[in-house]
Structure 1
Amino acid sequence: MKRVDPLLIVDQLEISSKALVPLMKKFSFQIFPGEIVALTGASGCGKSLTANAVVGLLEDGCEVTNGRIYYKGQSLSQNDEKSWQTLRRDEISLLIQHSLSGLNPLQSVKKQMLRTLKQKTEPAKKERMNYLRDLLRQVGFSNPERILSSYPFQLSGGMCQRILLAMMISLQPTLLIADEPTTALDSVNKEKLLALLKKLQQEHGLTILLISHDVERISAFADRIIDMEAREEVRTCFLNYKG
């Protein structure tokens, strides 16, 4: 059996406030290539803090005060801002919890998607428009031209969430972190978005860290579920890296 190394290792992570009061501590887990791993736990236990620490986006006043984060075997503890920006552009995409705050309400969807796409590549005009239309179709839009010409305030929360997902996919990440992606959605659209994440994982070879407090709903989509409060893996469906 061929050994596969973890893609992401979080080892004894501690995050503290500016006053050095621990907000979470001694949390460890690993993610292997090709998995969907769900990170669960009650609000306030540190799920989003962990996600933000992995991509170098902790809020002012918070910092990693102990432990290590490794990506592809390399420690991220010494990253400067330029290194974090490169990591977020080339390797790890973060789909934030509140979709409306992730899009500029005063700019069209087209303008915002093009700006994201240009972080990675600069295709010819005709090619990039075809690519954007294809991305929007992949995330479930049957009329991509209408979506491209729309502004976020004209669209529902679920539509904005899918647009953000398309923007993340345009960066061709290796690891996608989806932080409570179904929070603002009704029951039907929650199921649709989770099924879409599973589909995109399979089509693009993504590894996904899915952050959610809804264990019951995500159990059908995740390969592993890790309870952050209990510090243990609570369910395993199958593990790709075993073979």
Structure 2
Amino acid sequence: MKQKEIHPSMQPYLDGKVLLFDKPVDWTSFDVVKKVRILTRISKVGHAGTLDPLATGLLIVCTGKFTKKINEYMGMEKEYTGTFTLGATTPTYDLESEPVNQKDISHLTEEMITAATAPFTGPILQVPPAHSAIKKDGKPVYLAARKGIDVQLEPRPVTIYAFSIEKIELPVVYFRVVCSTGTYIRSLAHDFGAALGVGGYMSSLRRTRIGEFSVDDAFSLEAFEADIKNRLASEG
């Protein structure tokens, strides 16, 4: 992609910047990248780790020469908070699809729920969701899954450094997870519900940290847009 002529105040973005965004719900990660490209007129922009549209939180976006750092940031450990809903499953393991397989959860206790985190802490093998962008035979597997085709994926090694239940308001449980790259929190929700014998799905997700980068230091899209417009206006 050929770089368009840019305003002088946008030169630092062409030289290279690491931008932290608090991605809002219903935006894709590429939507954020596209917004940065439009505002800065920098064509070389990429993100370091996809967040699903229903998820919010920290998204690292690199511009210009700093796009070379994307793989480095993608490999860092990540922290998430959010909720699992117990007593049902969904085909996508989240709220992109409707809950099915309703189960009674009246027998669940706080001790049972808390204890169920233990098998998922440390190095584990995890099967990614069939509704994911992982490619099989050159095509994203979600394309087959959406057609109702049975998708078989191999378990992958990931590491859960910390997995705690922060609050319980059944059928909803609030969690915090610190994990390696490649971990699917949707799969963790599904497997956690299965371990309890009642099923479960991810009902909300927020990425709070990537390595040393915190969502507390992130821009909102509105604040970033206002900052860019101010820079352009102040420098003619």
TM-score bin, normalised by smaller chain? under 0.3
Structure that is richer in strand per residue: 2
TM-score by length of 2: 0.28
The structure having more radius of gyration, on CA atoms, is 2
TM-score by length of 1: 0.27
